Each structure stands twice: as C-alpha cells, then as structure tokens.
Amino acid sequence: MPPPPIAPETAAETTHRFPCENCGADYTYDPATGQLTCAHCGHTDRIRSGPWKGSALKELDFHAAVAEQLPEIETEVTRVSTCPNCAAQVEFDPQTHARECPFCATPVVTDTDESRQIKPKAVLPFAITERLAHQAMSNWLGQLWFAPSGLKQYARKGRRMQGIYVPYWTYDAQTRSTYRGEHGTVYYVTERVQRNGRTETRQIAKVRWRPVAGRVQRFFDDVLVLASRSLPKRYTDALDPWDLSQLEPYQPQYLAGFRAEAYGVDLETGFAEARQRMDRVIERDVRFDIGGDRQRIHAIDTQVSDVTFKHILLPVWLAAYKYRGKTYRFVVNGQSGKVQGERPYSAIKIALAALAAAIVVAAVAYLAGQQ
C-alpha cells in the first residue's frame, strides 16, 4: 500500500476568491476553457481583457526599482512568512494567521511584519488541467527504473496536485562588449618516423595564432530567472522552455483556485544570475566574431545599459509523496506538461537487478568455459 499523500490545501485557504454571479459559490480558473468556472452550478464567466491587452507588457526600470523609486502603483504591501522547512515565501491575506505551506505541507504561522513587494506584471495562465498533469507525471514515473511500486501506484490513483504560480523575473538589457584575443588557423605538417625498419609519414595538426581585437553587441530580451527558493532549482530550470509570448497582463482572476508564491529571490540577486547567462552568450558571440579554426579569449569588457525587468508568474503543477519518512516532490510545467522531480529508489528492485546481472555474467562465463 502506498503511504498517504500530503493533504492539499482547503478551499477556505484560497487567497483569491471570486463569487459565482449565479449561485455565489467560488469560481475557479479552468485551464481547459480559459474561463472562470463554478464547480457548484457549472456557470462560467470569461476573464475580461486587461488594460494592456493587445500591446506589449510594460517593462520597469531596474535601477529605479533597486533605488526603491518605482511608482507606488507598481508595488504592494504584503504579509509574507518564510516556511521553516522549505523556505517558500507563503503569502497571507489580512484575515489569515496560519496555513499549511503549499510546497511541503509544513504549518506556517504569520508574524505581524509587512513588506512592500513589486507587483506581478504578467501571468502565464495554466494551459493543462490537473488530469493531464497527472497523466504526464504517471507517464514520466513509468519510465523510471528502480522506482518503488508504491510511487507509481500513487500517481495512477490520481491524488490531488497543487496548482502553483511560481514567481520569476525577466530582464532586458542592451550590451556592448570589446574584446582581445587570438585567431587560430589550423595547418598540417608532414612528419616522417621510423617504425619496424620502415619509414612512415603522418600529418600533424598545428595552430598559427595571430592577435585580434574587436567589439560585439547584443540586446537581451526576457532573460528568465527563477525568483523562488522553495523548489529544487535544477528541476524548475529543467521545465524550460516557456512560451512567454502567451503571457497575459496580470489579473487575479487567473489565480482563482490556485496558489501564487511571493518571490524569495530579490531583484538584484536575480539580475546577477541573468548577467551570468548573458556573459555566456556574449562569449559565444566573441568566439564567432574572432572566427578561424580556434579561438583564444584574453579579455572581454561589457557595458550594460537600458536594463528593465518584469515580475511574472508561471504555472506549475506540484505533487508531493512521502516515502520512508522523506518527502519527494514532482513538478509539471503547467503550459507544456513537461515533468521533472525527485525520486526514491527501491532497494529491493536494485538488489534483484544486481542478482539477475550476476546470474547472467555467471552463465556467460560458464558457457564460455565449455567451448
């Protein structure tokens, strides 16, 4: 028997509630239709277009934000507590003082502190339903060798998954780089060697280097950086790619029935990671500009200007499973259905596989000895 799953949040804990205009029950956002749907009476309502619909989402000035000089309309005061177990930033409404962390089910109690945070600028609505997310996770688990049978049974039984909007930063920047390096041209020389009383020839590759200098420039658009510390970064990064052309101007109706985590990675820390990604691309640009068969780079000096950013929310389905006292988490890209996650290993299955391998090796050795 598989162990019981972590209990999902209750409807009363939902931060964003929208009453059905027909019966008064709560609407939830339905990824299958892209509308608000009432689970009680089935009534639906569309989400009205926001003020930026049909135009580019407005970027915010990075340096103004760092200096805390953003217009007041771009920020909001929130009550956020850090989960003591997984470090998720759990947001509380004014009437709520305690709730379970949606990422690991640890009880979290709010304090009285308030903080001013940058509002989400855009949201990528869930595109796949919980049922399809379950199917994707079940298919993924079915491909894992040595996973405990209870884990696969858990997936097949369709336990509840959490729909979480995870915070990200996107950065735009104009870069201009000067560099110094060397351009390498490969050429071959013929060498003669004596081997076993005979003269043999062989081609030896050598490189002729010459110094070069130049400049490259590139505009970076929407460099995406995870702004959450609650989930293993290697798994959330592996959920790429995201189609950010489907971003919608932020409206809380998209969050109806879902959770949204507050960002735990500040804007400057996120930009430091974005710069690392930019620098790797710039290095590739420099190598291409140097050309030749080989390249050496001695120095790159990059000037960065016109830095802007957006705070956006991306959809993730989350499942948690306890196996022998440890929690394993699985994440599903709520747009594409791509799955990543932690996984336990079945010691029994590994032992049986090792035994089977030993039997095969012994059998092969026996047959070889009979020939």
Residue 1 covered by a domain: no
* Greatest C-alpha distance within the chain: 99
Higher-pLDDT residue of 187 and 262 is 187
Residue 38 covered by a domain: yes
Residues 318, 235: Cα–Cα separation, whole Å = 12
Higher-pLDDT residue of 10 and 262 is 262
Residue 176 covered by a domain: yes
Higher-pLDDT residue of 154 and 218 is 218
Q: Is the pLDDT of residue 277 over 50?
A: yes
Q: Is the pLDDT of residue 291 over 60?
A: yes
Residues 338, 211: Cα–Cα separation, whole Å = 46
Share above pLDDT 90 across residues of the chain, in percent, rounded to a whole number = 42
Residues 312, 171: Cα–Cα separation, whole Å = 11
Tell me the pLDDT tens digit for each residue of 333-370. Answer: 999 999 887 755 444 444 444 555 556 665 666 566 66
Which pLDDT band, with edges at 50, 70 and 90, does 14 fall under? very low
Q: Answer for the pair 130, 158: CB distance below 8 angstroms, yes or no.
A: no
Helices (H), 263-323: 267-290
Share above pLDDT 70 across residues of the chain, in percent, rounded to a whole number = 69
Task: Please give the pLDDT value at position 356.
Answer: 55
Q: Is the pLDDT of residue 9 over 60?
A: no
Task: Look at phi and psi of residue 87 and say left if phi exceeds 0, alpha if psi is from -120 to 50, else beta.
Answer: left
* Structural Rg of the chain based on CA atoms: 28
What is the reported pTM? 0.77
Sign of the torsion formed by the C-alpha atoms of 93, 95, 101 and 103: negative
b/e for 286-314, b at 16 or more Cβ within 10 A?
bbebbebeebbeeebebeeeebbbbbbbb
Residues 42, 206: Cα–Cα separation, whole Å = 74
Residues 214, 178: Cα–Cα separation, whole Å = 6
Q: Is the pLDDT of residue 113 over 50?
A: yes
Q: Return all residues near 326 (Cβ < 8 A) that are at least 6 apart.
A: 344
Residue 169 covered by a domain: yes
Higher-pLDDT residue of 69 and 137 is 69
Helix (H, G, I), strand (E, B) or coil at 290: helix
Range of the domain at 249: 11-370
Which pLDDT band, with edges at 50, 70 and 90, does 5 fall under? very low
Task: Please give the pLDDT value at position 368.
Answer: 65
CA angle 166, 169, 174 (to 5 degrees): 160
Residues 128, 133: Cα–Cα separation, whole Å = 7
Task: Please give the pLDDT value at position 341.
Answer: 76
Residues facing 246 on adjacent strands: none
> Residue 235's CB: how many other CB atoms inside 10 A?
16
Residues 350, 136: Cα–Cα separation, whole Å = 25
Q: What is the mean pLDDT of residues 149-154?
A: 57
Residue 4 covered by a domain: no
Residue 272 covered by a domain: yes
Cα-based distances in Å from 164 to 17, 29, 135, 336? 15, 12, 18, 15
Task: Please give the pLDDT value at position 53.
Answer: 52
* 211: its two tokens: 């110094």
The residue ranges of DSSP E strands in the chain, in sequence order, are: 27-30, 35-38, 44-45, 60-61, 75-82, 89-92, 98-100, 107-109, 115-118, 122-123, 162-195, 198-226, 248-249, 259-260, 294-323, 326-333, 339-341
- Among 117-121, 227-231, 290-294, name the most confident range: 290-294
Give yes or no for a cis peptide into 241 (omega within 30° of 0).
yes
Q: What is the mean pLDDT of residues 90-105?
A: 55
> Residue 177's CB: how many other CB atoms inside 10 A?
21
Q: Is the pLDDT of residue 95 over 90?
A: no
Q: Is the pLDDT of residue 126 over 90?
A: yes
User: What domain count does the chain have?
Assistant: 1
Task: Please give the pLDDT value at position 2.
Answer: 39
Residues facing 248 on adjacent strands: 123
Task: Please give the pLDDT value at position 161.
Answer: 83
Mean pLDDT, the chain, integer = 80
Task: Please give the pLDDT value at position 272.
Answer: 97
Q: Is the pLDDT of residue 224 over 80?
A: yes
Higher-pLDDT residue of 152 and 129 is 129
Residue 34 covered by a domain: yes
Task: Please give the pLDDT value at position 294.
Answer: 96
Q: Which has the closest alpha carbon to 183: 272, 294, 289?
A: 294
Which of the residue ranges 21-30, 138-147, 254-263, 295-304 would you say has the lowest mean pLDDT?
Answer: 138-147
CA angle 233, 239, 244 (to 5 degrees): 110
